[in-house]
Amino acid sequence: MPVPIPRQRAIPAVESGQAQAASPCGGSAEKSVQDASATAPRTPDTAGNTTDKVENNTAHTNLTLLLIEDDPAGSPIAQDLLDQAGKPIRVRTARNLTEAGRLLTDDVHCILLDLALPAPGHSDSEDELAVLKHVLELAPRHAVLALTASGDAERGAEAVRVGAQDYLFRDELDGRLLSRAIRYAVERKRSESAERRLAEGRLRAQENRRLERGLLPTPLLEGSPLRFAARYRPGRSRALLGGDFYDVVRTPDGTVHAMIGDVCGHGPDEAALGVELRIAWRALTLAGLCGDQLLGTLQQVLEHERADDEIFATLCTVDIAPDGRRAGLCLAGHPSPLLARPGKPARLLPYDNNGPALGLLPGARWPRMQVELGAEWSLMLYTDGLIEGHIGQGRERLGQDGMTEMIRRQFAEGLRGERLLRAAVNEVRDLNGGELTDDVAVLLLDRVP
């Protein structure tokens, strides 16, 4: 793992556009800084005092090269290194990896490394590319050019395979060749970094999608004659899961329990809380709880798991009797389900006894209402994202009445199941003039004798 390199405000390096020989004690870099300080313009600070202002010339130079070689004085680096715009390429020199670590700041674009240098803790016989591997660990974001002896193409090619952007022969260097190699290496490194970030982003997106897909419920309806369909559209861009949640399970006594809910908010925290509430609802339902007792326990779960006391969740639960003709309904601040039957207009189930949303009132109660379904019916549970979309360019919203009329028409046209939900969600989106900003969840249970 690369060791963090401390950044220095004054760069102790030769930056005049050509490599200079370092002093025996390594003080040549300090002299360049002192010279720059002596000639720098003096500017008043905010208090009116005169201070030194050292120009680092970064505005006048496009590229900076760090040369790592044990004999900078005998370096074949030419003095006329130019970038693509014709501006001089600034050169810093380091005689060993320790000096290189001090000079390796964010404004360095490329490293020219002599492969003959020894790597710390390695002998020449252990690994010919140990010094290169050390530099690649030290500077994973920088372009690296390997400098090797003339005719040693095999070692240079191996350096590229290990991670260098290119290799050069020491005795064949000239200013034009090296300038071009530096520019190409920098661009190649930028391209590789962009491709790597893109691949990492795609991998994270795939992992997130697999995770979110795994968190969506699988209805447990084995043995039930009821047919199930659902549509889910999160409001967050590129997400599969939002703050809306739903589930359907059948208990051993033949009762089918359906639930849909909505956590206020649209972020990943709300989505995670929705998943927790859904899982808790399934566990409590399979354990035999229903109605007020179940909702009271869910409120305790929400109060313990939410990140903020202001967060609440609406919920609608329906318990359909084994004969499929009647159901118990509990509403916790949630819109009432819609019931559609052959030969009768679609209508909303009663919501006069709607209780408060979960997390608003400690010790709240949620009445359980009995409703008659009949012999053949379609029951649609939905979140408010379906009814809060706008109609055209104005501020008018679809609302429950508009949704009811829409479902009546689509039901009369013979739409059922998945086709009905797909048509409903698409029409709501079209009426809104584009994608809905809120999460949308809709589930449909059908009973056909």
Buried-state track 146-178, b at ≥16 Cβ within 10 A, e below 16? bbbeeebeebbebbeeebbbbbbbbeebeeeeb
CA distances from 270 to 248, 274, 276, 316, 359 (A): 21, 6, 10, 18, 14
Enter the CATH code of domain 64-194. Answer: 3.40.50.2300
Give the domain 217-447 fold.
Phosphatase 2c; domain 1 (3.60.40)
**CA dist., res. 372 & res. 374, Å (int):** 6
Spans of all domains in the chain: 64-194, 217-447
DSSP string over 231-286? EEE-SSTT-S--SEEEEEEE-TTS-EEEEEEEESS-SHHHHHHHHHHHHHHHHHHH
Full pLDDT tens readout for the chain, 449 residues: 333 333 333 333 333 333 343 333 444 333 333 333 333 344 444 333 433 333 333 344 478 899 998 876 666 565 567 777 778 888 888 988 888 888 988 889 999 999 988 877 665 556 789 999 999 998 898 999 998 888 788 999 999 999 999 999 988 877 788 888 888 988 888 888 888 888 888 877 776 666 566 667 889 999 999 999 999 888 766 566 788 999 999 999 999 999 999 999 878 888 889 999 999 999 999 999 999 999 999 999 999 999 999 999 999 999 999 999 999 999 999 999 999 999 999 999 998 889 999 999 998 999 999 999 999 999 999 999 999 999 977 789 999 999 999 999 999 999 999 999 999 999 999 999 888 888 999 999 999 98
